[in-house]
Amino acid sequence: MTSPVVVLGVTGSIAAYKAPDIASRLVKEGIEVHVVMTAAAERFITPLTLQTLSRNPVVCASAAGRADWKPVHIELADRASLLLIAPASANVIAELALGLAGHPLAEIALATRAPLLLAPAMNGNMWHHPATQQNVITLKNRGAHFIGPGQGILACGYEGIGRLLEPVDIVAAAKALLFPAS
């Protein structure tokens, strides 16, 4: 039996520091992990960390492309059993809701037929903004799944909703989508 393939999208959020833990936990579960980072994510965490923990090359927005004939975003879109975006920034949620494809992660989201699981992380005011809430509704109506955001002290100093849930909870949600109860 082949291992499921999770494409782990990492976006520009201080919560990106939890992505290595998510990748590591997925790999320990026997899941093949391929990480795709937005340019903003690269300002928070290095691709080398995620490459080491996922055991696969990382696709970065700043260096997308490959030498052979098949575009990497199509290859990963085809291979994905699940597209997990953690953290999912307000910007990427908006891009996905609008169907924009300005970077490899958004291109994969448009090209894959795998389930989509988003774990939002942002300031509470951004989360509650009508535009963000409409984008969430749009994505849910298209079949996307959400886990979080959680409550607590945020990186901006506010307290409230907006925290990325813990990696153990995100991995459990991913596993529930990958291995639904029969």
Q: How far is CA 145 from CA 44, 85, 165, 168, in A?
A: 25, 10, 14, 17
- So which residues are the catalytic ones? 156
Whole-angstrom Cα distance, residue 30 to residue 132? 34
Query: For 60-96, b where at least 16 C-beta lie within 10 A, e where not — what string?
Result: bbeebeeeeeeebbebbbeebbbbbbbbbbbbbbbbb
Residue 159, amino acid: E
CB atoms inside a 10 Å sphere around CB 108: 27
User: Closest by alpha carbon to 7, among 84, 64, 70?
Assistant: 84
